[in-house]
């Protein structure tokens, strides 16, 4: 997994362009849809334009506040097809079976600008996609709901692109409590929808997995995967040393990893590592701090751990230091941040 920073401009602008186009149909101007991103509307249609996770997330927040459609995310997801994802999408489309396409999609998910972590498993003759928004201080329940509805809709659309319009989920599971318009969800998704569940899931009949994909081609898929390998390497290089350090920190759970150990694992001197990080306008200490805050936000949003327990879990020796760090990073006290992230359109469950 390549860990990029939230401000690293390394992703295609295709999905942002689709969101802006869908908002434009409601009368929202592109400049308003892109407010707060510093993106020029004309740049969205250039293959050279690269955007960050924060820019994409800002467009989603704008859509939540600007659209008059309560299910804008779902309806937008219906317009996002494999062609939106370039070579990543073509590799999915050229898969010879749905199983092969799913294995590829999960393995190369980093190419799709991941604001949602996804995983796939087969259980009791059901194929099960599980989705979870990444940890970010501005992803409250309202934005989380947007992300989940958008990505569930995209998943259904991509499955139909590959297997035909006959593909229908068996069931949808949502963590949120039933909203006032819960009756519309089965009609939207074309299957039963269960609320207040422990995970956000899309379930389908596992017999689909080994059916031949109508547009599958083994040679084309092989060539597409090779090109996606090159794109992953390009992404890794763009993410730079910073991205590699983030990955090592996450693997080590922060505390055991020193800059000396990190430099050894990266086959460079500590002095060289410090210089390379400085060239990328960061430092080892800053990356440790940022990731501690990121994980703290995740714990605040997704678990019922106490503030003291979360402080210890992310490597703070004192609760007071943790509280100060959260307030500096988010302009909000930990409990207030938790209330905001958990409040609104639904609830989160104990996940620790």
Provide the 10 A C-beta neighbour count for residue 180.
7
* Residue-level pLDDT at 351: 34
Q: What are the φ/ψ torsions at residue 175 (nearest 5 degrees)?
A: -75, -25
CB distance 143 to 41 below 8 Å: no
Residue 249 to residues 142, 253, 255, Cα–Cα distance (Å) = 30, 6, 8
189: closest CA among 244, 129, 240?
Answer: 129
Q: Which domains, and CATH codes, for the chain? A: 1-68 (no CATH), 70-216 (no CATH), 240-342 (1.10.10.60)
Q: What pLDDT does residue 256 have?
A: 66
Query: CA 169 to CA 22: how far, in whole Å?
Result: 25
Q: Name the residue among 160, 51, 168 with its Cα closest to residue 98.
A: 160
Give yes or no for a contact between 71 and 32, defined as CB atoms under 8 angstroms apart.
Answer: no
Number of Cβ atoms within 10 Å of the Cβ of 308: 13
Phi, then psi, of 282 in degrees rounded to 5:
-150, -175
> Token pair for residue 9?
């401009």
Q: Which residue's entry shows tokens 């990266």?
A: 266
Would you state the structure tokens that stand for residue 326, as one six-digit string?
């959260």
For the four alpha carbons of 80, 83, 89 and 92, in that order, the dihedral sign comes to positive
Contacts of 108 (CB under 8 A, 6+ apart): 88, 91, 228, 232
List, in sequence order, every beta strand (DSSP E) within the chain: 11-12, 50-51, 116-123, 126-133, 171-173, 193-194, 200-205
Question: How far, in Å, CA of 341 to CA of 344, rounded?
Answer: 8
pLDDT at 345: 43
- Look-up of token digits 């401000």: 7
Q: Are 334 and 322 contacting, i.e. CB atoms less than 8 angstroms apart?
A: yes
CA dihedral sign, ordered 214, 218, 222, 223:
negative
CA–CA distance, 35 with 17 (Å, rounded to integer): 13
Phi-psi region of 39 (alpha: psi -120 to 50; beta: other; left: phi over 0): beta
- How far, CA to CA in Å, does 137 sit from each of 50, 134, 200, 267? 23, 10, 20, 34
CA distance 209 to 104: 13
Which residues in the chain come in under a pLDDT of 70?
1-3, 237, 253-256, 344-352
Alpha carbon distance 338, 352 (integer Å): 15
Cα 20 versus chain centre, distance: 19
Tell me the per-residue pLDDT of 24-72, one tens digit each, with 9 for 90 and over.
Answer: 999 999 999 999 999 999 999 898 899 999 999 999 999 999 999 999 9
Q: What are phi and psi of 149, to 5 degrees?
A: -65, -40
Distance of alpha carbon 52 from alpha carbon 267, whole angstroms: 28
Neighbours of 228 (CB within 10 A): 21
- Residue 212 has, within 13 A of its CA and on its CB side, a CA count of 5
């Amino acid at each position: 997994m390549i860990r990029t920073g939230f401000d690293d401009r390394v992703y295609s602008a295709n999905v942002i362009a689709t969101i802006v186009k869908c908002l434009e149909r409601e009368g929202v101007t592109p400049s308003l849809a892109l407010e707060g991103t510093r993106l020029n509307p004309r740049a969205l249609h250039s293959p050279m334009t690269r955007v960050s996770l924060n820019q994409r997330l800002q467009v989603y927040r704008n859509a939540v506040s600007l659209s008059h459609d309560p299910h804008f995310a779902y309806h937008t997801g219906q317009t996002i097809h494999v062609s939106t994802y370039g070579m990543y999408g073509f590799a999915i489309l050229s898969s010879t079976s749905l199983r092969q396409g799913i294995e590829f999609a999960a393995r190369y998910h980093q190419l799709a600008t991941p604001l949602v972590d996804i995983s796939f498993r087969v259980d009791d003759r059901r194929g099960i996609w599980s989705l979870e928004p990444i940890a970010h201080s501005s992803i409250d329940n309202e934005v989380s709901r947007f992300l989940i509805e958008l990505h569930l809709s995209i998943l259904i659309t991509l499955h139909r692109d590959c297997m035909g319009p006959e593909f229908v989920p068996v069931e949808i599971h949502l963590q949120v409590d039933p909203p006032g318009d819960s009756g519309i969800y089965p009609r939207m998704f074309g299957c039963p929808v269960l609320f207040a569940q422990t995970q956000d899931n899309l379930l389908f009949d596992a017999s689909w997995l080994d059916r031949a994909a109508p547009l599958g081609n083994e040679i084309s898929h092989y060539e597409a995967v090779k090109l996606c390998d090159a794109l992953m390497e390009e992404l890794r290089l763009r993410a730079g040393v910073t991205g590699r350090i983030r990955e090592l920190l996450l693997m080590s759970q922060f505390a055991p990893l020193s800059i000396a150990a990190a430099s050894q694992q990266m086959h460079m001197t500590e002095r060289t590592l410090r210089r390379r990080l400085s060239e990328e306008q960061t430092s080892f200490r800053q990356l440790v701090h940022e990731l501690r805050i990121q994980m703290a936000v995740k714990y605040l949003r997704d678990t019922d751990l106490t503030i003291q327990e979360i402080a210890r879990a992310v490597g703070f020796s004192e609760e007071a230091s943790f509280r100060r760090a959260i307030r500096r990073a988010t302009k909000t006290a930990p409990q207030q941040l938790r209330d905001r992230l958990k409040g609104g359109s639904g609830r989160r469950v104990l996940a620790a």
